[in-house]
Amino acid sequence: MPELPEVEVVRAGLERHVVGATIAAVDVLHDRPVRRHPAGASGFAAALIDRRIVGARRRGKYLWLPLDDGDAILGHLGMSGQLLVQPTSAPAERHLRVRFALTGTAHGRELRFVDQRMFGGLSVSAGGADLPPEIAHIARDPLDPEFDDAAFVARLRARTSGVKRLLLDQGLISGVGNIYADEALWRARLHGERPGDRLTRRQAVELLGHARDVMNEALAQGGTSFDALYVNVNGESGYFDRSLHAYGREAEPCDRCGTPIRRVAFMNRSSYFCPRCQTVPRSVRTTASRTGSA
């Protein structure tokens, strides 16, 4: 489950291993991962042959590889995507979807897009070398030096949605997924259903700080991994999961107060929180009980 720290690890790996390489061949083994590319699999491949990769960039969980003609390969790892740099001779991974044969600085190696569940994908972004227009609506992430803390706090406090939903809104702040949203909320002692406009300025500032801390810590440790689905560009797993306080810890004691962590359904996924440390405002609790949505 790649979140921002994992994607950054992949980006750094790509910068080191494929920048300067030229794409000699493209083999699309499954159409779905290139579904966002209007010209289809053949058009995707044709647009990339003989192009040289000149960079490796990221915004939120999107990655892109600027090319020497001003276009870019735009990618998202989705739930289970991996970008691997492998020797050409390495056996194909079970869920190998797209392979790029490389020459030049990466001669003898391939860039491979492997994705079991295929929520991720690749496309060629015309003129997207600097910032692909397809992702212009994605906000900066809190590790970006140009992230505007004050503007984020103001926008957060103007919204009536629950704060967890707002943390997952990539137009407001990018790079925060379900795991780190739960961790940041646990650290901030805030319940995810608390409306944005019911946060004090101080609470909003602290929440942002915790989100940033969680991400920085995960990044320092090489990213989170719960199973074999996520590995970095060389195929090594991260190990941040040892540091989680809330996510995935249903019925285990809260690390602060010992109360069992609770899991509730939220947006077709799960939320984990401490029912003692992270209380819901009374008015929200009343509304939730009336609608039966807990």
Partner DNA sequence: GTATGTACCTGTTTGC
Partner DNA sequence: TGCAAACAGGTACATA
Under the binding rule (CB under 7 A), the answer on residue 32 touching DNA is yes
Among 82-90, 101-109, 123-131, 159-167, the segment contacting DNA (CB under 7 A) = 159-167
At its nearest, how many Å lie between DNA and the CB of residue 189?
21
Neighbours of 61 (CB within 10 A): 26
Sign of CA dihedral 231, 263, 187, 119: positive
Name which of 165 and 285 has its Cβ closer to DNA.
165
The count of residues interacting with DNA (CB under 7 A) is 38
Q: Is 275 a catalytic residue?
A: no
Under the binding rule (CB under 7 A), the answer on residue 41 touching DNA is no
Name which of 52 and 159 has its Cβ closer to DNA.
159
- Angle CA 156–137–9, to nearest 5: 90
The whole-angstrom separation of Cα 293 and Cα 242 is: 31
Neighbours of 232 (CB within 10 A): 22
| Dihedral of the alpha carbons of 34, 168, 245, 265, in degrees to the nearest 10 | -90
Contact 32, 118 (CB under 8 A): yes
Among 13-21, 115-123, 200-208, 278-286, the segment contacting DNA (CB under 7 A) = 115-123
At its nearest, how many Å lie between DNA and the CB of residue 256?
22
Under the binding rule (CB under 7 A), the answer on residue 161 touching DNA is yes
Listed residue (108, 105, 123) closest to 17, CA to CA: 105
Q: Is 281 a catalytic residue?
A: no
Cβ neighbours of residue 287 closer than 8 Å, sequence gap 6 or more: none
One of 12, 19, 25, 159 touching DNA (CB under 7 A): 159
Under the binding rule (CB under 7 A), the answer on residue 119 touching DNA is yes
Q: Is 164 a catalytic residue?
A: no
Under the binding rule (CB under 7 A), the answer on residue 292 touching DNA is no
At its nearest, how many Å lie between DNA and the CB of residue 183?
11
Under the binding rule (CB under 7 A), the answer on residue 170 touching DNA is yes
The pair of three-digit structure tokens given for residue 63, joined into one six-digit string: 């990655």
Q: Is 269 a catalytic residue?
A: yes
Neighbours of 133 (CB within 10 A): 12
Contact 156, 203 (CB under 8 A): no
Binding site for DNA (CB under 7 A): 1, 3, 32, 35, 60-62, 76, 78-79, 95, 116-119, 134-135, 158-162, 165, 168, 170, 174, 177-179, 196, 247, 263, 265, 267-270, 293
